[in-house]
Amino acid sequence: MTQTNPPRIAFQGALGAYSHEACMKARPGMVPVPCTTFEGVIRAVKENRADLAMLPVENTTYGRVADIHRLLPESGLHIIGEAFVRVRIALMALPGATLPDIRHVRAHMVLLPQARSFLQQNGITSEAAADSAGAAEELAQSGDRTQGVLASEVAAEIYGLQVLARDIEDLEHNTTRFLLMAPELDGTRRGENMLTTFVFEVRNIPAALYKAMGGFATNGVNMTKLESYMVGGSFTATQFYADIEGHPDDPAVQRALEELNYFTNMLEILGVYPSDPGRAQV
């Protein structure tokens, strides 16, 4: 009997990172492949060390994730799904420690301001770490019961740490959106509510962007995201990243994309995928 290896999914960070949590939610049967950088996640898929990639693109508190919109068009990968993870911050420490024991915590620099009120109320100082889950792994090996880490409860479970406080974030709505990416574009209609993501560069003519967007308005296509970013180190070369509701085969979407194409030098569809049920709750 031939034994096949289970499918693998790559993410940035150590085991127990919020990206790992997104993998567990979206593809619970896949083997997680931790990577140091976003570029490493993409390479893992392109080099066949992973079948899919999970990449964060935006957060309700901090906006878009730096560099992701630049990396996506160059990655050669395509979006096949999305996932939303509510950023729940837990304070964890070595087994046997109590909250009054904790004098200092480490976490990724993005997490620390989100738990500022809790840390101030308990007189706990903080220090930025490269990765919250990685800090949890280091704490598990340290033997220091005065130190804590802010991370997801998944990290506490993986590294055998004790959770001393849950949901300590200042903002209850803090949520990160992730994109599930694969080597091939899947244009099939896999859900009732579909999304289409694409990048484009407008032609150098007056009011090109205004005219390019007009097709979506006149055809009743809802654009849920539009962001610009510079390319090639030039202030004059601007690309746009957009999400719209609908499938390219929908007549209204088809007409809108045809009109957009007329006003662009480049138009590339990055993904066609079902809307995640978590989107309605954000």
Per-residue pLDDT tens for 11-52? 999 999 999 999 999 999 999 999 999 999 999 999 999 999
pLDDT of residue 239: 85
Report the C-alpha gap between 167 and 40 in whole angstroms. 31
Q: Has residue 243 been placed in a domain?
A: yes
Q: Give the DSSP H/E element, type plus range, for residue 246.
A: none
pLDDT of residue 232: 64
Report the C-alpha gap between 91 and 68 in whole angstroms. 28
DSSP E strands: which ranges in the chain? 8-12, 31-35, 52-59, 63-64, 78-86, 90-93, 104-108, 125-129, 147-151, 162-165, 175-182, 194-202, 223-230, 238-245, 264-274
pTM: 0.91
One domain for residues 217 and 258 = yes
Q: Has residue 248 been placed in a domain?
A: yes
Tens-place pLDDT, residues 52-77: 999 999 988 878 887 787 889 889 99
One domain for residues 48 and 66 = yes
Q: Has residue 281 been placed in a domain?
A: no
Distances in Å between the Cα of 21 and the Cα atoms of 15, 80, 174, 196 are 9, 18, 15, 24
CATH of the domain at 116: 3.40.190.10
Q: Has residue 234 been placed in a domain?
A: yes
- Kindly name the residue from 11, 118, 176, 197 that is annotated as catalytic: 176
One domain for residues 72 and 44 = yes
Residue 239 C-alpha from the chain's centroid: 20
One domain for residues 60 and 80 = yes
Looking at the 3D structure of the chain, how many domains does it have?
A: 3
One domain for residues 223 and 259 = yes
One domain for residues 81 and 105 = no
- Kindly name the residue from 11, 38, 84, 178 that is annotated as catalytic: 178
Tens-place pLDDT, residues 145-162: 999 999 999 999 999 999
Give the length of the chain.
282
Q: Is 198 a catalytic residue?
A: no
Judge residue 279's burial from the number of C-beta atoms within 10 Å of its C-beta, 0-12 exposed, 13-18 middle, 19 or more buried.
Answer: middle
80 by DSSP, 3-state: which?
strand
Give me the domain span that covers residue 13: 8-86+174-182
